[in-house]
Each structure stands twice: as structure tokens, then as C-alpha cells.
Amino acid sequence: MSFEFVASENALLLEQERNRRYPNVHFGRNVVVGQNVSIGEGTVIGNHVVLHDHATIGKDVRIDDGAIIGKKPLKSKASAMTGTKELGPAFLGNGCLVGSNAVIYSGAIVEDGVLIADFASVREDTAIGELSIIGRGVAIENQVRVGRCCKIETGAYITAKSAIGDQCFVAPEVTFTNDNFVGRTQERFKHFGGVTMQKGSRVAANATILPGVLIGEDALVAAGSVVTRDVPARMVVMGAPARVVRPVDIDQLLPYESETKPGETP
């Protein structure tokens, strides 16, 4: 009996056992399913997908070819932000869409209806609120929180320790930063801090946001700006460094219940 025949027979038995465990899930070819993975009915999984141990996949999820769910982070001796704490399993809620070759790390929580496009990366210890869209090639680093109904477009970089509120918009190629000093000593760790976007705020294409900056409710950062200081609520800023130029047009504002006036930071 040849080695090839035995390997083929074993693969068939594993596939049969997998199909028995998940009778209402459609699997493509060469899918790897780890131990104690939970997959909801109606889910469709493409070719060459890897689901790591203990991952939870909701109902009616679509995971396209080559995606990886529950990857454990690499830890270099020189890593500044990759910790050693025990991470929980990856979680995908109901109705999520995950594009080809996207990578979602262990400890990431992705709520219902989120779309994560091709080649996007969602690091460990992150949370993405329901119905948000993470565009093609977006990198969301660790310890990031993204609210509900947000849109983060192609190629944006969301640095570690950032927080994005509900209904925010981040345009293509926007860069968040978290280290003001680009230092080589341990002193730099005392000053790390990501970017905070409050509800409804928007950042246009190719803007760079410096560490610790707060972008207020419904504020708008113009394309190509370099934002070095907090942006007041419902104001437009532009330039390098960015300066306030005018209030956001009233018809562009979200309905809000805040007591603050235009130009004030809540």
C-alpha cells in the first residue's frame, strides 16, 4: 500500500468527520479546522482557509480563500507592543464577511455584520463593532477599538492603542501614529499613545495623525493634513500642521444629543 494512498485515505476520513461535525457548513478544498472550533450554520468557507483552535465563527459567515482566523502573534525580542499575556480565541459574529488572505488574530472580537476585505490584518486584543467595514489591505494593530458602523478604507494604518468611535470614517492611506519621539531608549514607552476619534468624525485621504491626538465629534480632517493637536468637535482642520478653518456644514453633521456647541470639545 503506497504512502500516497494512505495519505489520501486519511484526508478523506478527516473530511468526513469534519462534515459530520458541521453538517450545515460548506467547506472548500484544503481547509484546516483546529480543535474545538465553533462554526454556525449557513457559513461558507473557501479554499485553503485556516481556522485555529477554539475560534468561534457565527452563522451565515463567508470566509474567502486563504484567510486565517485565530493566528497567534509573533513575539520578537525587539517588539514594543506585542505582549506575552494569554489571549482568548478569535471571535466572528453572525453575518460577517472575510476576504481572501485576510488575517484575524487570536483575541480579536469581530461583531455581527462586519466586512473585512482582502489582505486586511486585524491584530490581537482588538474589537470591531457591528456593521463596520475594514477595507482592502487595512492594518489594524493590537489594542485597538473600532465602534459600530465605521468605514476604514483601503490601505489605512490604525496604530496600536487607538480608539475609533461609532459612525467614523477613515479614508484610504490615512496613517495613525503612537510614538512622538521615535526613540531608542526605554523612555519612549512612557509616552506611547494612539489616536482617538469620537463619534462621527472623519479623516480624509493621506492624512497623518500624531500620537495622543483626539478628533472630536463630527470633526473633519482634510486630505493630506498633518494633525499635531486635538481637533475641536464639528470643525474642519487642514494643512501641515493642521489648523481650524471653519465649522463643518450643518447638513453634514450627525444627529447628536451633546450639550457642547460647535467648536468645543465634548
Indicate the pairing of strand 196-197 with strand 163-164: parallel
List phi, psi (to 5°) of 189. Answer: -65, -20
Q: What average pLDDT does range 195-218 have in this prediction? A: 97
Give 17's pLDDT tier (boundaries 50, 70, 90).
confident
Q: What average pLDDT does range 224-250 have in this prediction? A: 97
pLDDT, tens only, 115-131: 999 999 999 999 999 99
Position 24 scores a pLDDT of 94
Residue 264 clears pLDDT 60, i.e. is over it: no
CA-CA-CA-CA dihedral for 7, 8, 12, 13, to nearest 10: -30
82 to 193, 250, 261: CA distances (angstroms) = 15, 42, 40
103 to 41, 230, 237: CA distances (angstroms) = 22, 32, 34
Give 106's pLDDT tier (boundaries 50, 70, 90).
very high
CA-CA-CA-CA dihedral for 53, 58, 63, 68, to nearest 10: -20
Half-sphere exposure of 153 (CA within 13 A, CB side): 13
pTM above the 0.95 mark? Answer: no
pLDDT, tens only, 189-203: 777 789 999 999 999
DSSP 193-218: ---EE-TT-EE-TT-EE-TT-EE-TT
> Rounded to whole angstroms, how far apart are CA atoms 77 and 33?
30
Helix (H) or strand (E) run with residue 14 in it: helix 3-21
